Structure 1
Amino acid sequence: MSLREIKPGNRGYLYVNSHPTGCGAVVDRMWQQTPEQVGDRPGPVALVIGSSAGYGLAATLVGLRAHRMRGLGIAFESAATERRTAGAGWYRTARTAELAAEAGSDFTFLNGDAFSDGVKDEAADRLADRFGKVDLLIYSIAAPRRTDPLTGEVHHSAIKPLGADYRAKTLVFEDGAPRIGELHLPAADEAERDATVQVMGGADWQLWIDALQSRGLLADGFRTVALSYVGSDITAPVYRAGTMGAAKQHLEDTARAINTRLQGTGHAYTVVAGAAVTQASTAIPSIALYTSILHRVTGDSWQSTSDQAVALWDRLTGAAEPDLDDQGRIRLDDWEMDPGVQAAVRGAWDRVDADTLADSADTGWFREQVGRLYGWDVPGVDYGTAAETAVPWPASPTPDA
């Protein structure tokens, strides 16, 4: 037992401690927001890479509750130490596993570096031993660096513009109070661009498909999706027209390469999701201000990661049309990219300053959402009560369990 009263210990958008009870409560909320499958028909065998956070977590929970998904989730999370709690994704995974077991879903989790050959081998072994073939692979990884398993070179991603420096407004919090700041990012050089593509592009997605295909683990009609983002022209200089955009373009090009490799036996799609407050997105300059304004504009029409995961699963299962764009991508961002919404966001962005911030942007909501990424600011959680921090990683069931 390791009961502790935990304090957040944050600096800006980064928290050094997560709260086990709060993280579990966040998962519970997402679970309850998902419609439950009627009947006990077993669902597809799925591999979710990046299952502990963001869209990967949402897709995992929707797959389990609404579609009785079976299979394996992969995440890379840190365990608790004497000084710090485990990572928030560790606690979210532990609660997800409990809910999956309660629902009777045959799903387990692997903690390790998905970029490595060792994790690919272990995942393939587990899938082969228990399920035979995989129907669906969901790829949702956001990472700061990647070690190329072929060369051993470590690539570090850089969130920067391309071609010219980037200057823009940004949202910062000082002592919990929001204010408008000024951001200046120098343009990336070619090496930084290429490294970002190596980390956040499609190279590892392709390696996963190759690893499963070489083991004969792709079912007939296999489908795979990787999460992408387009976003507004407001954020384009630092995102879609920047190093991240180059990586996303590579991801989308990889989908076409995978389709060529599958030769009609399956299909690969990139999925353009809408804006969200995630641990990955909070690291992108200016996205906090843009997202706060977007939420103020959209109000009740805002689509959470759970809402978008429900829509994605409907498209993957045939319950809804794929809704592909002219580049063959599944689009989940129509609510964000609606011309009227974007015009309203642009107007608020242009006029927002210290005097208009409170009216133009939903900063209180954004600040709460960031806290909840780490299990803080969750209604109903007693943060004055000691919590168990040494939560075990979910055990793998035996083949005949």
Structure 2
Amino acid sequence: MTERVITPRSRGFLFLDAHPGGCERLVEEMWRSVPTPDTEPVARPDGAPVALVIGSSAGYGLAATVAGLARVGIRGIGVCFEKAPGRRTGTAGWYRTAATARLAREHGRDFVFVNGDAFTDEVKERVAELVAERFGGRVDHLVYSVAAPRRTDTDTGEVYASVLKPIGAAHTTKTLVFDADAAPEVKEVTTEPAEGDDVARTTAVMGGADWRRWVEFLERRNLLAEGFGTVALSYIGSPLTAALYRQGTIGAAKAHLEETARSLDERLSKSVGGRALTSVNAAAVTQSSTAIPGIALYVGLLRGVLGEEMVAPVDQAVELWDRLTGARPLVRDEEGRVRLDGWELDPAVQKAVGERWARATSANVAGLADLDWFGDEVRRLYGFAVPGVDYGAAVEVDVAWPESAR
């Protein structure tokens, strides 16, 4: 037993430790927030649908895992890459995974987790073996939600690192920072444009290459169920952040992801009567998004405009699962994408956020953006600022990874 009091310490938006109790309660809150479906899922003679969630421990991927378990009753496997407790606490995703596994077990869901680099063939092989041995040799759904800074090409051994840069010209944007006393400050930052093979390398990491490899890997082993469907989770965002995001190197990667969806959709339609698509999720505070200049200010302003009308990632995931399982119509946009971001990109909402963005300064930002909410959301990513947790009490940090076999 290794109990200690966990004090939040951070460098900007990056926290050095995570709180196990806070992470656990956060997952419990997510699970409880998932509404009971209006109708019972259609009974299957071969059991509940088998799903793989690649990137299951954080952000949209965690939301998709919890919503799938609580709403649909999926069984299957979550894949993530988290660090075990040691000199420091485990990563927040380590503790969130342990909590998700416990809730799944308590609710009778047969869902297990593999900890490892999803880009590698070794992890794909471990997952394929589990599918064959434990889940009847078939996968019904694959949700892909991987946000990583780098990827090693398993064929060549080359390491690709992604970059966050505009394309064509440098871009200056407002961004939100906090000083040592947690006072909000609006600054302008300039990001130099992509050069050389920056776009190609970012696309290699964050585009559709690994998603395709997952599908093809399972297909070669005859593990795709008839009617198999796969979805990659994505984001478009506001015109206010477009130059650095959707029109930048990451945007090029997202465009490749969408191209991959179209080619996979055609392939799966012919091979198993299946489909592939991208889901455009809406804004949220995630460990990945806080690293992008301008996003913190934008999301804070968006919350200032919408308040409680913002749609949490788990609620977005509920809507996605309803569409994937036929509980709601599977409507796609002209590019073939599922859109969960209509509330964010509503013209009236964007107009109000844009007006606040233009006016925002260090002196007035607290009155324009919901900074208390934003700060708490960042802390909650690491298990802090979760109501009902006694942060003055010692907590067990040496939490075991959930068992992956009966």
* Structure 2 residue matching 1:238: 3-state secondary structure: coil
Corresponding position of 1:356? 364
Given candidates 366, 388, 394, the residue that maps to 1:386 is 394
Corresponding position of 2:220? 214
Given candidates 174, 179, 190, the residue that maps to 2:196 is 190
Please tell me the residue identity of whatever aligns with 1:65. A
Corresponding position of 1:91? 95
Corresponding position of 1:397? 405
* Structure 1 residue matching 2:151: 3-state secondary structure: strand
Per-residue CA deviation, residues 136-182 of structure 1 (Å, 9 max, x unaligned), is 00000000100011110011110111111011110001121211112
Given candidates 155, 166, 172, the residue that maps to 1:167 is 172
Corresponding position of 2:257? 251
| Whole-Å separation in 2 of the counterparts to 1:177 and 1:241 | 31
Given candidates 124, 127, 130, the residue that maps to 1:123 is 127
When residues 150 and 375 of structure 1 are mapped into structure 2, their CA distance, relative to the original with a 3 A threshold, is: same
Corresponding position of 1:310? 318
The within-5 A match list for 1:1-400 is 1-36=1-36, 42-81=47-86, 83-131=87-135, 132-174=137-179, 175-264=181-270, 265-398=273-406
Q: CA deviation at 1:260?
A: 2.6
Runs (5+) with no aligned partner, structure 2: none
Please tell me the residue identity of whatever aligns with 1:200. M
Q: CA deviation at 1:39?
A: 6.2
| Whole-Å separation in 1 of the counterparts to 2:63 and 2:234 | 15
**Which is further off, 7-16 or 241-250?**
7-16
Q: CA deviation at 1:257?
A: 1.5
Per-residue CA deviation, residues 271-327 of structure 1 (Å, 9 max, x unaligned), is 000000011111111100000001111112200001100110110011111221100
**Which is further off, 230-239 or 356-365?**
356-365
Where does structure 1 differ by over 3 angstroms across 4 or more consecutive aligned residues?
A: 36-42
| Whole-Å separation in 1 of the counterparts to 2:164 and 2:331 | 30
Per-residue CA deviation, residues 182-215 of structure 1 (Å, 9 max, x unaligned), is 2111001131111110000000000000000000
Runs (5+) with no aligned partner, structure 1: none
Please tell me the residue identity of whatever aligns with 1:4. R
Per-residue CA deviation, residues 329-363 of structure 1 (Å, 9 max, x unaligned), is 00000000101001111111111112321111111
* Structure 1 residue matching 2:216: 3-state secondary structure: helix
Please tell me the residue identity of whatever aligns with 1:176. A
Q: CA deviation at 1:4?
A: 1.2
Please tell me the residue identity of whatever aligns with 1:50. G
Contact 2:174/2:189, CA 8 A, preserved across alignment: yes
* Structure 2 residue matching 1:251: 3-state secondary structure: helix
| Whole-Å separation in 2 of the counterparts to 1:29 and 1:243 | 35
Contact 2:266/2:275, CA 8 A, preserved across alignment: no
| Whole-Å separation in 1 of the counterparts to 2:108 and 2:387 | 28
Q: CA deviation at 1:36?
A: 3.5
Please tell me the residue identity of whatever aligns with 2:131. L
| Whole-Å separation in 1 of the counterparts to 2:184 and 2:131 | 47
Two-structure CA RMSD over aligned residues (Å): 1.1
| Whole-Å separation in 2 of the counterparts to 1:298 and 1:321 | 26
* Structure 2 residue matching 1:115: 3-state secondary structure: coil
Per-residue CA deviation, residues 348-392 of structure 1 (Å, 9 max, x unaligned), is 111111232111111111110000000011111111111111100
% same residue: 55
Q: CA deviation at 1:43?
A: 2.6
* Structure 1 residue matching 2:187: 3-state secondary structure: strand
